[in-house]
Amino acid sequence: SDCFGRPIASAPDAWFDVVERHSNDGNKTLQRTTKTSKCLNLGSYNYLGFAAADEYCTPRVIESLKKYSASTCSARVDGGNTKLHTELEELVARFVGKPAAILFGMGYVTNSAIIPILIGKGGLIVSDSLNHISIVNGARGSGATVRVFQHNNPAHLEDVLREQIAGGQPRTHRPWKKIIVIVEGIYSMEGELCNLPEIMAVCKKYKAYTYLDEAHSIGAVGKTGRGVCELLGVDPADVDIMMGTFTKSFGSCGGYIAASKEIIHHLKHACPAHIYATSMSPPAVQQVISAIKVVLGEDGSNRGAKKLAQIRENSNFFRSELQKMGFEVLGDNDSPVMPIMLYNPAKIPAFSRECLRQNVAVVTVAFPATPLLLARARICISASQSREDLIKGLEVISKVGDLIGIKYFPVEQEKVASVDKLKKLE
Amino acid sequence: MDMALPIVNATTAALARVSAAFNAPLARAVVFGVHIDGHLVVEGLLIAVIVFQLSRKSYKPPKKPLSEKEVDELCDEWEPEPLCPPVKERSHIDPAILESAAGPHTTIEGKEVVNFASANYLGLIGNEKLIDSCVGSLEKYGVGSCGPRGFYGTIDVHLDCEAKIANFLGTPDSILYSYGISTIFSVIPAFCKKGDIIVADEGVHWAVQNGLYLSRSTVVYFKHNDMASLASTLEKLTRGNKRTEKIRRYIVVESIYQNSGQIAPLDEIVKLKEKYLFRVILEESHSFGVLGKSGRGLAEHYGVPIDKIDIITAGMGNALATDGGFCTGSARVVDHQRLSSAGYVFSASLPPYLASAAVSAVNYLEENPSVLANLRSNVALLHTG
C-alpha cells in the first residue's frame, strides 16, 4: 500500500518532490516525514504541461482570484454565473467545433448527471466494455437498459445494434425510444484510440446517437489539440454529444459537454448538477480560458503549437524506445498514455518501489481497475518533459525491467546501441 | 311408471348381452397357457393408447428466427425520438451574470446589488487572508492537481486540510472530496449496499436522493422533520422482524434542509438511533460553520458528543467559501472510503488552492467566533422584520 497515494509537495510538473513516508507497523499506516525527494514525474496527467505555474496563465489566474474570490458559493442559476463562465462556455464550444457548451465543476459528476437526463426508461445505452466507471454509474442511474459491446469492435457493435433494434425492449418487445452509443476518445487503461470513423458509420446507419468522452484526448492529440475527431478525421458535427474534462490537459478541474444549442438549452434547464451544485471556481475557469488561448495561439506566441508538437514527439519516442527494449507496451501511436504490462501482481510493488528509489515516479495499476492478471504500470507523457528527462526515465525503467524480468519481447540489440549514441551526441 | 318398466327391461337386456359378449368363448382364449379374460383385452388396448399418447412429443410451433432481410427492414423502419425535447420558449431561465465576486454586494450589468442568493454564510468571500493563502498555493502548485488521490494527486495541503478539519470537529480523521455534491452521493453507496435498509427524510435534496438511488438499498422515507413519524417508521421496521437485526441499518438526515430550511432535532434522532440500533449519516453542508457556539455544526448546537454520529459529510461550498467536500467519522469509516468510494478513487483530487483556502477558512473561524454572533443577529433581524 505504499505504492498508492504517495503525497507530493510541489506542483505535479516534470520533476516534483515526493514526500517520503515511513511506517512502523509493516505498511499498515504510513506517517509523513519532512524529507522529500525530487523525482521524474511519469504518472500525473499533465499532457500539455499546464500543471505548474505557467507564465501566461498564472498571473491571469491570480488576478481573477482577487476579483472573483476562490468560490462563488452558489449554484450557477442562483448567482454563481460570472462573466468568466459564459466566456469559457463560448470558448470551449469554439475550440471543440460545436455550437454550444455547458460547464460542470467535476468530470465525474458530468457523466453521472448528464446521462440520466438524456435517456431514461425505455431507452438503450450501448457502451464499450472498457468504459470509465463514471459512465457506468451514469448509465446505471438513468434507468435505461445497458448493453455492452466488445472493446473497439465496430462489427460487434453492429451485431448488438441489429439484434436490439429488431428485438425491441426486453419483455414487451416495444421499439426502443432512443439508442445512445457511448465511447471514449483514449481509454485510460489501454492507451488506445477509439476506432471512431467506423463506429460513427455504424451509428449513422442505425440512427443511434453518439456520446464521445474525450477526457484524456482533448488538448493532447490532434494537430491543433482538438482531440480524437481531428486526429482521425471525423467531423465534430457528426458526433451528437462531446464530453471532456479540464483536469488532464489544461491543468485545472471540471468538465464540459458540447453539443447543439437545443441540447445544451435542455441540459441547462433540466440537469440537477447544474442547478444545485456549486459552480466552477473562478480561478479554475480562468486557467482553462488562458490554457485554451495558449493552445490556439491566441496569446500571441506559438507556445501552444510547440507544446503539441513536443508531446507528440515525446510519446512516439518513448513508446518506440520501450518497445525496442523489449517491454510490452500497449496503445496506439500518438497516444500519450502508455501502459507497460506487468501481468504478475507480485511485480507491481517491486516495479514501483525500485523506480522510486532511483527517483522516477510511476503509477502502477492493479485490480479492480484492470483484470486481476493484467496488472500494468501506466506512463503518462507530458509536454514539459525534455528529451533528457525521457532518456533518464528510459534508463531507469530498463534497469528495473531487467531486475524484475518484464521484458517479455526479445530486445533488438542494434537499436539499443543507437540510443547510446544519441546520448553521447547530446 | 309405464315408461320406466320398458326402459328397465331394455337396460337389463343390454347388460345381459354385454356380459354374454364378455363371456363369449372367444374371450376365453388361452394364449401361451395364460387365461385371458375379455376385459383384459380392453384394458390392454387402453394402456397401449395411453402410453402412445404420452410418448408423443407435445406440439410446439416451430421457432422462426428473423431473417437478415427482416432485421434490415426493422432497422430501416425504426425512428428514434429526438435526443432532447423541443425548446419551449416560456421555460427560459436566464441566470444573472455577475461581474464581480459573489460577496454581499455584487455587480450585475453595471448595477450594484445586494446579494441574497449566494450561500456565503461567514462572509469569507473576499477575505484577505483566504486570498493570500490561495495566491501562495497557486504559485507553488499551479491550479489543478492532475491526478486522482491514489496516483500522485495527494498534495501535502490535502493532508493538512484533512487533519485540520478532523481537529476542528474533534473526530479522528477526515477525507476530502473534490466536489460538494459528489461527497454525499459517493459516501452513501460506499457504505450502503443492496439489501440494507435506509430510513431517510422526505425532504432531502437531490444529491442525497441520487446517492440513495445509486446504493440500491431499500429506502423508506419518513415525514419531513417529523420525529414521531421517524419513531413509528423505525418501530415498524424493527418490531418482530428478525431479519432486520442482521442487516445494516442507516438513518440519513440533513442538519439544515436545503429545500425547507428546517433544522433536524439531533438529540431526539440520537436517542432513537440508540434505541433501535441504527447508524446515522448526517449531511451538514449548510450547518458546518454556522450552527453551534464555535461553528462546529449541529452536534455542538445540540450538545451531542460528536462520536455518537457515525458519519458526517459536508460540502465546503457554503460557509467555508471554497469548493469540495469532506467526510468525517471514526478512523475505520474514513479508511474504508479511501479504497471504495467512487468519487474519491476514480476522480481527480481537489485543486490545492481550494484546500489551502479551506484551511485558512477554518483558521479564521477558530480565531473569530464573533462572526457567528453577527450571522445570528442578521438571521434574527430577517426573521422578525
- Write the CA distances from B192 to A32, B198, B213, B375, integer angstroms: 32, 8, 11, 36
For B169, the domain range is 128-371
Q: Is A165 on the interface with B (CB under 8 A)?
A: yes
Q: Does B147 fall in a domain?
A: yes
Q: How far is CA B109 from the centre of its chain?
A: 41
With CB atoms and an 8 Å threshold, state whether A62 touches B135: yes
* Domains within chain A, CATH numbers bracketed: 56-296 (3.40.640.10), 303-404 (3.90.1150.10)
Provide block-wise average pLDDT over 10 residues at a time, chain A (426 residues).
70 73 67 77 82 77 80 68 85 89 86 85 87 86 88 88 85 85 87 87 88 86 84 86 86 87 85 79 86 82 82 87 84 84 82 84 77 82 84 87 78 48 47
Rg of chain A over Cα atoms, rounded to whole angstroms, equals: 22
Name chain A contacts of B71, Cβ cutoff 8 Å: 162, 165-166
Name chain B contacts of A4, Cβ cutoff 8 Å: 150-151
Distance between CA atoms of A411 and B110, rounded to whole angstroms? 68
* CATH number, domain containing residue B141: 3.40.640.10
> What is the value of pTM for the model shown?
0.80
Q: Tell me which amino acid residue A402 is.
A: D
Name chain A contacts of B213, Cβ cutoff 8 Å: 141
Return the pLDDT at B50.
92
Return the pLDDT at A426.
43
Q: Is A247 on the interface with B (CB under 8 A)?
A: yes
Name chain B contacts of A111, Cβ cutoff 8 Å: none
Residue A51 to chain B, least CA–CA distance (Å): 6
Return the pLDDT at A415.
43
Q: Tell me which amino acid residue A299 is.
A: D
Point out the residue among B131, B156, B346 whose CB comes nearest to the CB of A19: B156
Cell 450561500 sits on residue: B119
Average pLDDT on B8-13 reads 80
With CB atoms and an 8 Å threshold, state whether A176 touches B78: yes
Residue A418 to chain B, least CA–CA distance (Å): 33
The DSSP result for A181-219, as a single string, is EEEESB-TTT-PBP-HHHHHHHHHHTT-EEEEE-TTTTT
Q: Is A277 on the interface with B (CB under 8 A)?
A: yes
Q: How confident is the model at residue B35 (pLDDT cuts 50, 70, 90)?
A: low
With CB atoms and an 8 Å threshold, state whether A73 touches B321: yes
Total of domains in chain B: 1
Chain A, nearest residue to B68 by Cα = A162
With CB atoms and an 8 Å threshold, state whether B353 touches A5: no
Return the pLDDT at A419.
47
Return the pLDDT at A24.
67
**ipTM reported for the complex surpasses 0.85:** no
Q: Is A201 on the interface with B (CB under 8 A)?
A: no
Chain B, nearest residue to A163 by Cα = B71
Residues sharing a CB contact under 8 Å with residue B190, sequence separation 6 or more, in sequence order:
B336, B337, B340, B341, B342
Chain B, nearest residue to A286 by Cα = B143
Alpha-helical (H) ranges within A75-146 are 83-96, 107-118, 133-142
Name chain A contacts of B360, Cβ cutoff 8 Å: none
Name chain A contacts of B158, Cβ cutoff 8 Å: 7
Q: Does B251 fall in a domain?
A: yes
Return the pLDDT at A302.
78
Name chain B contacts of A209, Cβ cutoff 8 Å: 80, 83
Q: Is A273 on the interface with B (CB under 8 A)?
A: yes
Residue B367 to chain A, least CA–CA distance (Å): 20
- How big is the A-B interface in CB pairs under 8 Å? 292
Q: Does B278 fall in a domain?
A: yes
Q: Does B115 fall in a domain?
A: no
Return the pLDDT at B239.
77
CA angle A25, A10, A2 (to 5 degrees): 20
Name chain A contacts of B348, Cβ cutoff 8 Å: 45, 107, 245, 247, 253
Residue B63 to chain A, least CA–CA distance (Å): 15
Identify from A159, A206, A253 which residue to disrupt to test chain B contact, counting B C-beta atoms within 10 A and taking the largest count.
A253
Q: Tell me which amino acid residue A44 is.
A: S
Return the pLDDT at B47.
94
The DSSP result for A307-323, as a single string, is HHHHHHHHHHHHHHHHH
Average pLDDT on B366-384 reads 84
Point out the residue among B120, B130, B181 whose CB comes nearest to the CB of A73: B120
Distance between CA atoms of A183 and A139, rounded to whole angstroms? 12
Return the pLDDT at B46.
94
With CB atoms and an 8 Å threshold, state whether A278 touches B180: yes
Distance between CA atoms of A66 and A74, rounded to whole angstroms? 18
Distance between CA atoms of A151 and A370, rounded to whole angstroms? 14
Average pLDDT on B246-272 reads 85
Distance between CA atoms of A27 and B322, rounded to whole angstroms? 33
Q: Does B377 fall in a domain?
A: no
Name chain B contacts of A52, Cβ cutoff 8 Å: 141-142
Q: How confident is the model at residue B44 (pLDDT cuts 50, 70, 90)?
A: very high
pLDDT at B375 over 60: yes
Residue B279 to chain A, least CA–CA distance (Å): 25
Residue B301 to chain A, least CA–CA distance (Å): 23
Q: Does B27 fall in a domain?
A: no
pLDDT digits (tens, 9 = 90+) for B170-229: 888 888 888 888 888 888 888 888 888 888 888 888 888 888 888 888 888 888 888 888
Distance between CA atoms of B283 and B252, rounded to whole angstroms? 8
pLDDT digits (tens, 9 = 90+) for B136-183: 888 888 777 777 877 777 888 888 888 888 888 888 888 888 888 888
